[in-house]
Amino acid sequence: MSYSYVSHLECPKCHKTYSDQEVQQLCECGAPLLVRYNLDEVKANWKKSDLSTRDTSLWRYHEVLPVRSEENTVSLGEGMTPFVHMKKLGQQMDIPNLYMKDEGIIPTGSFKTRGASVGISKAKELGVEQLAMPTNGNAGAAWALYSARAGIKATIVMPVDAPNITRKEVAVSGGDLHLVNGLISHAGKIVGQLVKEKGVYDASTLKEPYRIEGKKTMGYEILEQMNWEIPDVILYPTGGGVGLIGIYKAILELKELGWIPEDKLPRLVAVQAEGCAPIVKAWEEGKTESEFFENSQTSAFGINVPKALGDFLVLEAVYKTNGCAIAVSEADLDKAQKEVAQLEGNFICPEGAATFAAAQNLRKQGWIKENETVICLNTGQGIKYPETVNIENLPLLEPGDVIKG
C-alpha cells in the first residue's frame, strides 16, 4: 500500500516522459506536463468505501495525488467544499436540478487553494526553497500562505489593480510581494527574468505540473458528493482553465478506476466574459488553440486571461465531452451575483456568477434540457470583492430613532 501511486510526468503534446522525483517545469517542446499514476495498482488497493473514514480534506484522495510521502503534505484542511442545491434559483431558471459547488468555502477563500496545497507539498518534497509567480490575486494569496506554512520563500508579482484583499493576504503571510504598474503579462515577464537569473522555482500557471492535480480534486469531490453518478453539465469560469482541465482529468481517471460508469461524460462548459473570450472564439471557429484576446477587460478579474498556456487542453476537454464555450455580458454576471445572494443566500464572486448567467442562457437556447443535472462552479467568496456591491444613500439612524417596518 503506497501513499501515492504516482508514476511519472508526460507531455500531452509530444508524449515525452519525465521523472516526478526532480524539479520539472515545462516539457522541452514548451507544453505543460501532466502527472500519470499506476491506476491499475490504485484500482487493486483503493476502494470507494475507504473514503468514509478519512478526514474531509482533498488529501482523502492521496493515492491519486503526486506527493509520495505523507509528511510532505502542506494542508490547512482544504477540500470537501459545499455542494448546494439551488432550488429557488433553479426553479426561476427552469433547471430544477441546479447545484453549486462552492469553492469559496476553503482556506484563503478561493479554489486556487487546491493547486497551492498540492503544488507546494510537491515543491517541499522536491526540496524547493524559493518559488515565484505572477498572479491576478487569488493564486498569489493561496501560494504565499501555503508557502509560509511549508517554510518556502514565495515571490509574488501582482498587477497594482488586482483585488486589494489578495494583496493583504500575501503581505500578512510574510511573502515577498511586488506590485507592477501593468497587467499579469508584465508580471509574468518579471517572474520569468527572476527564474532565468536565479534558478527560482517557477510556479506560474501550468509551468509546474502539480497545480492541476490539486484542481482535479474538484472533479473527485463532485462525483463523490453526487454519490458517483455523473452529472449532465458542469459549468466552469475559464481564465487559465486549469480547473476544467483538472475536472476532465479526474473523470478520465475515475473511469479507469471503474468508480463511475463508462458510457457517459458530463458536458463541460467553459464560461468566459464577453470582454475576454479567447476560448469561446476558438471554440466557435472549431479551432484547437486560442489567439491572444486584445484589450481584454471584465469585472471578473480572475478570468481576464487573454491567452492561456493550457488553451489546447481546455478546448480538448470541451470537444471530447460535447460541451461548449460561452461568453456572458457584464450586466448578466452582475445580475446573477445578486440573484444568487437574494434567492439562495450565497455571496459568490463575479467569476462564479458568470456560470449561473451562462446556465440561464444555455437553458433558454435549449442546450440545457429541463431535467438535466447542472453544476455551476463558484471559484471564490464574494467578500474578496467588496467593490462588486454598491451601497449608496443608505440613511444613517441616530440613537433613539425608530424603524418603520
Subset of 79-98 contacting a second copy (CB under 8 A): 80-84, 88
Single out the residue of 160, 228, 258, 284 in contact with a second copy (rule: CB under 8 A).
Answer: 160
Residues 276-305 that bind a second copy (CB under 8 A): none
Closer CB to a second copy, 32 or 382, in the complex: 382
Of 331 and 389, CB closest to a second copy = 389
Task: Report, in Å, the least distance between residue 335 CB and a second copy.
Answer: 12
**Least Cβ distance, residue 80 to a second copy (angstroms):** 5
Close Cβ partners of 224 (under 8 Å, ≥ 6 residues apart): 51
Cβ proximity of 88 and 98 under 8 Å: no
* Burial (CB count <10 Å: 0-12, 13-18, 19+), residue 7: middle
Q: Which is nearer to a second copy, 355 or 381 (CB)?
A: 381
CB nearer a second copy, residue 174 or residue 261: 174
121 contacts a second copy (rule: CB under 8 A): no
Q: C-beta of 40: minimal distance to a second copy in Å?
A: 28
Closest to a second copy by CB, 4 vs 73, is 73
CA distance 143 to 120: 7
For position 249 contacting a second copy by CB under 8 A, the verdict is no
Shortest spacing between CB 226 and a second copy, in angstroms: 12
Residue 126: C-alpha distances to residues 31, 69, 210, 211 (Å): 21, 11, 12, 15
- Distance between CA atoms of residues 296 and 34, nearest Å: 29
- Closest approach, Cβ 309 to a second copy, in A, equals 20
Amino acid at site 91: Q
Q: Is 137 in the site for a second copy (CB under 8 A)?
A: no
Which residue stretch of 40-48, 236-244, 264-272, 375-383 sits at the interface with a second copy (rule: CB under 8 A)? 375-383
Work out whether the CA dihedral 341, 346, 351, 354 comes out positive or negative.
negative
The site that binds a second copy (CB under 8 A) totals a number of residues, namely: 85
Q: Is 165 in the site for a second copy (CB under 8 A)?
A: yes
Residue (45 or 56) nearer to a second copy, CB: 56
Q: Report how far residue 237's alpha carbon sits from residue 349's, in angstroms, rounded to the nearest whole number.
A: 11
CB 106 within 8 A of CB 79: yes
Q: In the window 307-346, what residues touch a second copy (CB under 8 A)?
A: 337-338, 341-346
For cell 455542494, what's the residue?
83
Q: Is 252 near a second copy (CB under 8 A)?
A: no
Evaluate whether 108 touches 169 at the Cβ level (below 8 Å).
yes
The identity of residue 81, as a single letter, is: T
Give the separation between CA 145 and CA 365, rounded to whole angstroms: 43
Would you count residue 109 as binding a second copy (CB under 8 A)? yes
For residue 145, state whether it binds a second copy (rule: CB under 8 A): yes
Q: How many CB atoms lie within 10 A of CB 278?
A: 24
Judged by CB under 8 A, the chain residues 28 through 67 that form the site for a second copy are: 52-53, 55-57
393 counts as binding a second copy under rule CB under 8 A: no
CB 318 within 8 A of CB 289: no
Of residues 86 and 270, the one with the C-beta less far from a second copy: 86
Q: Pseudo-torsion of CA 356, 267, 215, 58, nearest 10°?
A: 90
Among 102, 103, 332, 334, binds a second copy (CB under 8 A): 102
Binding span for a second copy by CB under 8 A among 90-98, 173-181, 281-289, 328-336:
173-181
HSE toward the beta carbon, residue 232, CA cutoff 13 A: 16
Task: Decide: 274 and 302 in contact? Cβ < 8 Å.
Answer: no
Out of 146, 236, 248, 293, which residue is the one contacting a second copy (CB under 8 A)? 146
* Backbone region of residue 172 per phi and psi (left: phi > 0; alpha: psi in -120 to 50; beta: other values): alpha
Cα–Cα distance measured from residue 55 to residue 50, given in angstroms and rounded to the nearest whole number: 11
Quick one: 21 or 193, whose CB is closer to a second copy? 193
- The full length of the chain comes to 405
The interface with a second copy within residues 185-204 (CB under 8 A) comprises 186, 189-190, 193-194, 197-198
Instruction: Decide: is 265 part of the binding site for a second copy (CB under 8 A).
Output: no
Q: How far is the CB of 207 from a second copy (least distance, A)?
A: 17
Looking at beta carbons only, is 42 or 179 nearer to a second copy?
179
